[in-house]
Amino acid sequence: MDLPRNVEEARGLLASGRYVADASLATAVFLALKLGRPLLLEGEAGVGKTEIAKVLAATLGRRLIRLQCYEGLDAAAALYEWNYPRQMLEIRLAEVGGEGGAAGRERLAHDIFDPRFLLKRPLLLALEPDPAGPPVLLIDEIDRTDEPFEAFLLEILSDFQVTIPEMGTVRAPEPPIVVLTSNRTREVHDALKRRCLYHWISYPDAVRELEILRLRAPELAESLAGQIVRFVQQLRTADLFKLPGVAETIDWGRALLALDQVSLDAATVNSTLGVLLKYQDDIEKMAGAPVSAMLAGKP
């Protein structure tokens, strides 16, 4: 599929992938696609940052390549490394085969750095040509890495090329569509932010969250969907360690469907709070009287 030509087409593209985007997010996505710039999405966990990359890949018909970030991630795990066990086996086989002399050693040195021994990681895979078009590269939770990796990533995102000493330079024929996400557990370095277009995804208002829930859990009765959204919206005003995201709203709706619920009641809400809240202290704070008060519409 062709890239969107304007903001409305970008919004429609996301909607075709069952993603409800407001005008500002659709604008950020359109500009990232139009200008060929990486898009950095920040926001609380569960608000739909990762889903943007998945929807773009699905609706544009592109390959999705995901680099899941974590503490200690290095270039070898993100870019490439050599398959040393297979290289050693190749050397042993050459020795058994009796390939000796300078010519044999030279040929072996060349052969063990053949592409078949190269283990390609997400960043290198994203530089390869694809008949369907440049892939969508999702660099998920960049805030979990450290600053040296950010500096390395900045170089990759600037030129979309990498030099493998034994093979030469690998350059993307067309830059991939890059989406970075951050839960803001720490600040991403300014140099990386300058390389990207930036958008903060906040919790949706009740109207948009209801629209999202209808799309993601269409089997829900209209009245129950409304009750779910009202409860979650009120729950987000509480002083909790971790507020529920949209992902939790959808999960809760599906859980209530599995329980054959047609409306909310205190007993069911209390028994399913673990779908919405992920910390025991938060569950203990809300269980019982606070749940009953919220269902009664009391602050």
CATH of the domain at 141: 3.40.50.300
Q: Are residues 41 and 185 in the same domain?
A: yes
Domain count of the chain? 3
Per residue in 227-243, pLDDT (tens digit) is: 999 999 999 999 999 99
CB neighbours (10 Å) of residue 280? 10
pLDDT tens readout for residues 179-217: 999 999 999 989 999 999 999 999 999 999 999 999 999
Structural domain of 106: 82-117
65-83 pLDDT, tens digit per residue, is: 999 999 999 988 999 888 8
Classify residue 297: in a domain, yes or no.
no
Going through the chain in order, the beta strands assigned E by DSSP cover 39-42, 64-68, 80-82, 118-120, 136-140, 161-164, 168-171, 177-182, 197-200
- Final residue before a domain boundary, out of 178, 200, 222: 200
How many CB atoms are closer than 10 A to CB 294? 21
In a domain, 246, yes or no: yes
Cα-based angle 62, 67, 69 (whole degrees, multiple of 5): 155
Residue 175: inside a domain: yes
Q: Is residue 113 one of the residues assigned to a domain?
A: yes
